[in-house]
Amino acid sequence: MGYIELDVLDGAPRRIVIGIDLGTTNSLAALWEDDRPVILRQEGSSGIIPSVINFPAEGAPLVGKQARAQAVVDPQHTLFSVKRLLGRGLADLRGELKDLPYAISENANGVLEIEVRGQTYTPPELSALILRATCDEACAAFENAEIASAVITVPAYFDDAQRQATRDAARLAGIEVLRIVNEPTAASLAYGLDQKGEGTVAIYDLGGGTFDVSILSIEGGVFRVLATNGDTQLGGDDFDRVIVELIREDLAGELSAEDLADPAFLQAARLAAEKCKIALSSDPRHEVHLSLPDIGLNWRHRVTREEFEKRISPLVDRTMDCCRRALADAGIEPSELDEVVLVGGSTRVPLVRARTEEFFGRPPHTELNPDEVVALGAAAQAQVLMGGTRDILLMDVTPLSLGLETVGGAVSKLIERNSTVPCSVTEGFTTYVDGQSGIDFNIVQGEREMAADCRSLGRFKLTGLPPMPAGMARVAVCFHIDANGLLTVTAKEETSGVRTEIEVSPSHGLSEGDMEAMLQAGFDNASEDFDRRRVADLKAEIGTMLLAVKKNQTAADEKLDPESHKELADAAARASKACDGDDLDEIRSARDEFEQASLPLAAVLMDHVVKGAIQGKSLDEV
């Protein structure tokens, strides 16, 4: 059997490792099985979960198809496209807010809050509901299964805050994230493009509400994003709107202006329009049927593919402009591409296929279902990470440079864009004023020269420096990006040993406190189910920590003082023992104690890293 199975005990649920495409419009999950990825779905279902949430007057929120069905009758309590809000602030949404029908505000941490029925929800909480529904659908494909961990995909252009928010969503959903992977990378994997040696590929992704195109280079299993371009306000919904317009034009003589603007009419027209669009992908013509007895409407109208294509042609042209810009940014000609991949449900439209083929000068890959290809690739990635058969080293690169604001507002880049992750870079900084007792750091992401033009990921302060003449402090700042593309920053003054451990909480991210509170709120009204997932999650966390301690046993034996050494050993034993049981509180406090007891070891290891990085540099250099 090709399942990835972990700790399968008799009668215990099968623990599976899946790939999840958390989409703006639709989400779905896949699993590696019998040497290939397959979509997880219940009998008779497509497996696709519309990324829609409805909050009914009473009871639990509805997610997916059921929620989407409420759009007509209950639009005020139905949320679409929450992915657009992940890791963003109000200022980021300036241009988009007018199109969002819900009440949005920003809390003190700059995290958005969406108000529905007098309750507020953050984007990660909402995405967690979608992730949970997707996992439930995936588990329902089996008799007895639960998710051990998952690879989750994000657009290549997602910045640190957006990736972190995706991670937060998973944590709130009780899912352990194995890796966050770029969607175009996943699509390339689904087609096995990594196995063809070196190459340059274009991934054209036209979904429900967004378009993006990525140019990737693949070399020795390393995926590099050479360029991305796109339009976050262009997708299949616009194709639907084109047909809605056509319907309204035709009905203009028959219905009053009031009826034509009626929400119920518009919703019905929108649903009929999508149905028509989908039909026209396979048929040359389709009869739209609208029946609204309330306003005495029973209307039929034939739409031809030709007519539809004429109307969407300008929209498709816009995607081609983006492709042209992406290629120019990457500095390559269409003829230099080795492969072109179509992703997203809207690439089923024949005109889109024809235009892309014409533009790129070669037939694009369309063998896999375009709305499934990202999830399939995520499952392939999960298989690789679980030590599966595919013999490649798979890595992503950072999409944007990371650095610190220096005196005068310029940016000092520590990690250049397109660096392969995971990676660490340490750079030396110093004080500018005699007796300066602290240094402020502003962590920025972006390619521009001035910090004001980049995105600030967060600020931190190194305090408690002993009085020293200007320029004498030797502060080593280390940027570490893990395999998920997430950043941790540490700073230490070398001569005095003063250090700050900084959690880079993105400007629009949840704080650890928020997170705990949300998780706690989850427990409070939780079903046993949730507790079970949390227990599994914590056990996995403890497992990782035990491994890390084991790996660094020599350092611990040699460098730790006897007291810390004993504390660590005891805490590890307690944590390990707690994992034999299923008591949530016990496991959680064991985890917390273990974490606390491992801090001295972490400090020893970090010291080692910083010293190594600083060694051999003169004072002027650091």
The residues annotated with a catalytic role in the active site are 21, 83, 183, 205
Closer residue to ligand ADP (CB): 81 or 445 = 81
Query: Considering Cα of 430, then 435, then 438, then 443, what sign does the dihedral take?
Result: negative
In the complex, least distance from residue 21 CB atom to ligand ADP, rounded to whole angstroms:
7
- Decide: is 25 part of the binding site for ligand ADP (CB under 6 A): yes
| Minimum CB–partner distance for residue 25 and Mg ion (Å) | 7
Q: Is 236 in the site for Mg ion (CB under 5 A)?
A: no
CB of 596 to Mg ion, least distance (A): 41
208 binds Mg ion (CB under 5 A): no
Distances (CA, A) of 494 to 179, 429, 613, 614, 615: 34, 11, 12, 9, 11
**How far apart are the C-alpha atoms of 41 and 36, rounded to whole Å?**
16
User: Can you spell out the DSSP letters for 434-492?
Assistant: TT---EEEEEEESS-SBGGGSEEEEEEEE--PPP--TT---EEEEEEE-TTS-EEEEEE
Partner that binds at residue 14, options ligand ADP, Mg ion, none, CB closer than 5 to 8 Å by kind: none
Q: Are 419 and 442 in contact (CB under 8 A)?
A: no
Residue 207 contacts ligand ADP per CB under 6 A: yes
Among the listed ranges 126-134, 143-151, 184-192, 205-213, the one in contact with ligand ADP (CB under 6 A) is 205-213
Residue 382 C-beta: closest distance to ligand ADP, Å: 19
User: Which listed residue (208, 364, 522, 600) binds ligand ADP by CB under 6 A?
Assistant: 208
DSSP one-letter code for 406: P
Give the span between the Cα atoms of 399 and 283, in whole angstroms: 40
Of residues 48 and 610, the one with the C-beta less far from ligand ADP? 48
Quick check: 522 binds Mg ion (CB under 5 A)? Answer: no
What the block records as the tokens of 268 is: 């019905």
Backbone dihedral angles phi then psi of residue 380, each to the nearest 5 degrees: -65, -40
SS3 409: coil
Strand partners, 15: 6, 146
Q: Which SS3 state, helix, strand or coil, does residue 262 take?
A: coil
Look at residue 348 and give the partner it binds from Mg ion, ligand ADP, none, a contact being a CB closer than 5 to 8 Å depending on partner kind. ligand ADP
377 lies in the site for Mg ion, by CB under 5 A: no
Q: Which of 346, 381, 431, 490 binds ligand ADP (CB under 6 A)?
A: 346
Give residues 556-615 in contact with Mg ion (rule: CB under 5 A). none
Applying CB under 6 A, the span of 207-215, 425-433, 538-546, 579-587 interacting with ligand ADP comes to 207-215
| 345 is a site residue for ligand ADP (CB under 6 A) | yes
Per CB under 5 A, 207 contacts Mg ion: yes
Asked if 179 and 151 touch (Cβ cutoff 8 Å), the reply is: yes
**Total binding residues for Mg ion by CB under 5 A?**
2
Q: 492 has which bridge partners?
A: 476, 499
- Cα–Cα distance between 113 and 111 in angstroms, integer? 7
24 is a site residue for ligand ADP (CB under 6 A): yes
Q: Is 23 in the site for ligand ADP (CB under 6 A)?
A: yes
Distance between CA 486 and CA 158 in Å, rounded? Answer: 11
Count of alpha carbons within 13 angstroms of residue 523, beta-carbon side: 12
Decide: is 371 part of the binding site for ligand ADP (CB under 6 A): yes
| Shortest Cβ 417–Mg ion spacing (Å) | 23
Q: Binder to ligand ADP among 180, 340, 349, 384 (CB under 6 A)?
A: 349
Q: Which tokens is 514 given?
A: 């928020």
Residue 344 binds ligand ADP, judged by CB under 6 A:
yes
Q: How far is the CB of 20 from ligand ADP (least distance, A)?
A: 12
- Whose Cβ is closer to ligand ADP: residue 351's or residue 481's? 351
- The reply on whether position 345 binds Mg ion by CB under 5 A is no
Q: What is the DSSP annotation of 510-546?
A: --HHHHHHHHHHHHHT--HHHHHHHHHHHHHHHHHHH
Q: Which of 14, 84, 163, 348 binds ligand ADP (CB under 6 A)?
A: 348
Does 26 sit near ligand ADP (CB under 6 A)? yes
Of 4 and 349, CB closest to ligand ADP: 349
426 binds ligand ADP (CB under 6 A): no
Which of Mg ion, ligand ADP, none binds 78 (CB below 5-8 Å, type-dependent)?
none
Question: Does the protein bind ligand ADP through residue 230 (CB under 6 A)?
Answer: no
- Output b/e per residue, 562-575; b: 16+ Cβ within 10 A: eebbebbeebbebb
**Residue among 52 and 614 whose Cβ is closer to ligand ADP:** 52
Length of the chain: 622
CB 523 within 8 A of CB 531: yes
Q: What is the footprint of ligand ADP within residues 489-518 (CB under 6 A)?
A: none
Parallel, antiparallel or unpaired: strands 222-231 and 53-54: unpaired
Q: Which residues, numbered 249-288, are part of the site for ligand ADP (CB under 6 A)?
A: 274, 277-278, 281
Site string for Mg ion, 6-45 (x = CB under 5 A): -----------------x----------------------
**Does 50 sit near Mg ion (CB under 5 A)?**
no
Token couple for 162: 């957006």
Q: What is the DSSP string of 268-328?
A: HHHHHHHHHHHHHTTSSEEEEEEEEGGGTEEEEEEEEHHHHHHHHHHHHHHHHHHHHHHHH
Per CB under 5 A, does 184 bind Mg ion?
no
Out of Mg ion, ligand ADP, none, what residue 455 binds, judged by CB under 5 to 8 A for its kind, is none
CB of 3 closer than 8 Å to CB of 33:
yes
Give CA–CA dist 619/495, Å, rounded. 11
What is the closest distance, in whole angstroms, from the C-beta atom of residue 508 to ligand ADP in the complex? 21
Size of the site for ligand ADP (CB under 6 A): 21
* Residue 567, H or E segment: helix 562-578
String marking each residue 435-464 x if it binds ligand ADP according to CB under 6 A: ------------------------------
The CA distance from 3 to 141, in Å, is 13
**Binding residue for ligand ADP (CB under 6 A) from 61, 174, 236, 377?**
236
C-alpha–C-alpha distance, residues 197 and 501, integer Å: 41
Residues of this chain that interact with ligand ADP (CB under 6 A) are 23-26, 207-210, 235-237, 274, 277-278, 281, 344-346, 348-349, 371
> For binding to Mg ion (CB under 5 A), which residues are involved?
23, 207
